[in-house]
Chains A and B, each alone.
Chain A
Amino acid sequence: MGEVIVITSGKGGVGKTTTAANLGTGLSLLGKKVVLVDTDIGLRNLDVVMGLENRIVYDLVDAVEGTCRLKQALIKDKRYEGLYLLPAAQTRDKNSVTPEQMIKLCEELKQEFDFVIIDCPAGIEQGFKNAIAGADRAIVVTTPEVSAVRDADRIIGLLEANELKNPVLIVNRVRHEMVKKGDMMSIDDIIDILAIQLIGVVPDDENIIISTNRGEPAVSDNKSMAGQAYRNITRRILGEEVPFMDLAGQGNFIAKVKKLFGFRSA
């Protein structure tokens, strides 16, 4: 019996879809059987982030309505053993699916897969309610900005009100140089305010844009800092204790050279 994990944030544009793609791919790289479910009906994007947009025939709504069998709607990712995608419908709206249907869908997927990773739409309306309905645990994604942390706080409250206790937090797009200068809230600041367990810190990394351009998740790129952060998170999801990585090496070229030669930038 597998586990359903919903990736949510409240605010849009903080990296939910990228996180879902990378964690799903990362778990499959560790030998798990994983299905990524895009619940952002009408605004699907997980397919393009995964580079699987040309292979969609059926979608989530087709599977739920019985237009096709569930297996027919699952797209097998040929690059990663054991990884599948259930894409969202693009020409329907969020009300095409009910929370009850989502619970049933999750129950079915759990029989087949070790992990069901649900990419939740932004907002707190129907799409959010659908996405969390069948989930066993939740990962909240935020960035070190007032607006994103505020929305994360609201989402944490809503998750707990919906019996999803103890959600964990990923802080995305952290810029170490700015934190050091006092121009960006640190991880400690955010944890202090949200009072929630941290499962990962992802540095702001240009490689994410490059990998999204190509439709290849950064988690499979050994040179990417963000990829390393996602690999660490996948291991933490499996219950391993993985130390949080030192972000000091990140940043501009000069900082990297300084680090290379053993200089510490003050």
Chain B
Amino acid sequence: MLQQLLSKLGRKRSSKDVAKERLKLVLIHDRANVSPQFLEMVKGEIIKVIRNYMEIDEEALEIQLTKTVSEEGDGVVPALIANIPIKSVKNAGRSI
């Protein structure tokens, strides 16, 4: 958002801020020591659970390790973000 604000004001974000952001993200991955295989495993398990309740588009499912601003406001924390497109909710999952 800050980035957008700055660009609206006609100012480019300084290259050091870009460097810092990129570095933080890459270190989250490095420190967590997650391999693509690990993420595939997580993805497979999530699909298994969710399939019980709804039909999802497994091809379009995206999962990534990223960072987000923590709600306590004490800076950036790692987050697992999954984007799971739902095709339909199964009957068994609906409330009566």
Contact = CB atoms under 8 A, between A and B. Distances in A.
Interface in B23-60: 23-24, 26-27, 30-31
Given A182-B14, A182-B15, A153 B20 contact: no
B16 A146 contact: no
A183 interface: yes
A184 B14 CA distance: 9
Interface stretch (A123-131, A165-173, A185-193): A185-193
Nearest to B22: A146
**Which secondary structure dominates chain A's binding surface?**
helix
Which of B17, B19, B23, B31 neighbours the largest number of chain A CB atoms within 10 Å of its CB?
A: B23
A73 B38 CA distance: 49
Nearest to A181: B14
A185 B16 contact: yes
A157 B32 CA distance: 12
Contacts of B16: 179, 182-186, 189
B70 to A, nearest CB: 16
Interface in A184-221: 184-186, 189, 193
Interface residues of A, number: 16
Contacts of A179: 16
Nearest to B13: A182
B29 to A, nearest CB: 10
Interface of B: 14-17, 19-20, 22-24, 26-27, 30-31
Interface of A: 145-146, 149-150, 153-154, 157, 179, 181-186, 189, 193
26 contacts: A145-B19, A146-B19, A146-B23, A146-B26, A150-B27, A150-B30, A153-B27, A153-B30, A153-B31, A154-B30, A157-B31, A179-B16, A181-B14, A182-B14, A182-B15, A182-B16, A182-B17, A183-B14, A183-B16, A185-B16, A185-B23, A186-B16, A189-B16, A189-B20, A193-B20, A193-B24
